[in-house]
Amino acid sequence: MLYLLWKKIKDLNLQRAIKNAHKNPNKNKKTQELIQQMEAAKAAAKVEPGIDRFAINPEGAMDLDNNYDMTVAELGLQQSKRDQIIAFYLTILGFVIPSVISLEIHNGAKAIAFLAMYGIGVIFCHVIIRYRTYKEVYWIACRVLTQLCNIHKPFINEQTIYTLYFNALVKNQGSIVVKNKRGKMDEATGVIKTSILRSFLKQLDSAETLLFETLALFSTFVGGIGAFYAYSVHWSLTVVIILLLLEILASLNYRYVTKLLELYKVVDTKTIKDLQIPFKKAWMLHCYVDDLTQDNKNATLK
């Protein structure tokens, strides 16, 4: 506190000296030089990575109940946005498909129109993947906030938050991650490898994945109509388009499952670096973490 008081008095004296120098520019050359030095230093200054530790109020943590309500509201918002995107795209297709088919234009132009609608669908698929990962992060955050209600406020710190978040990921891992059935080991982590295919097949039981597949398959169907009309240009063009459609569909599903698996990578490695992958998205927990100092990204969780 004495340091802050001394720093405040020093800043006030410096501001008073600068103000007087502006009123009497020829009276104090030293002050003028000081102003020039400060302006030069200000131009070359960089953003400070943190604030002074004396500014922290240990009792000023955000209210857990309000934070939990905001997290639940944000979780619902992610789901509603996802549903709105899917409904919007399917509605647009309901109007566009019959309209384009009925137009008296060259089949090549119809192919371009359907492929353009397919491209929009692919973009929406990437947005849905983002919403799915954030939904998973917010769901874990809700579980952490619930557990924080049973912890004394002085003990809510960075290590506590990390430990609770890690334990929540461990408990929920079974619903997302499926290990290799043959027991193949990962040389980097020394644990059994994750089966991407089996993990994806397990996700087909969830409503979120089925909604994503609905959007992906409808988009591919629209692209298939475009490939059909491209046959009038050349049959080889249809073959190329169909192969691209299948490849993009496979890559979308691969991205969907790998983005989810990436959130649970820390369960195997137990490093702070990998924990930051999901935790950096959980903004509702950041107010409880002391981030004034640089974290050791190579550290391991206890």
Q: How far apart are CA 263 and CA 134, in angstroms?
A: 10
Write out pLDDT tens, residues 157-215: 888 888 899 999 999 888 888 887 776 766 666 677 888 889 888 888 888 899 999 99
The answer to whether the CB of 226 falls within 8 A of the CB of 111 is yes
Q: Which residues pair with 185 in a beta bridge?
A: 192
Q: How far apart are CA 193 and CA 190, in angstroms?
A: 9
Q: What is the DSSP string of 224-247?
A: HHHHHHHTTT-HHHHHHHHHHHHH
Closest CA to 116 of 258, 219, 199, 12: 219
Closest CA to 302 of 109, 166, 179: 166
Mean pLDDT of all residues in 96-109: 87
The confidence score (pLDDT) of residue 293 equals 39
For the chain, the C-alpha Rg in angstroms (whole number) is: 28
First to last CA, the chain: 34
Residue 297: pLDDT band with limits 50, 70, 90? very low
The residues spanned by each domain of the chain are 2-45, 64-176+218-288
Q: What is the pTM of this model?
A: 0.75
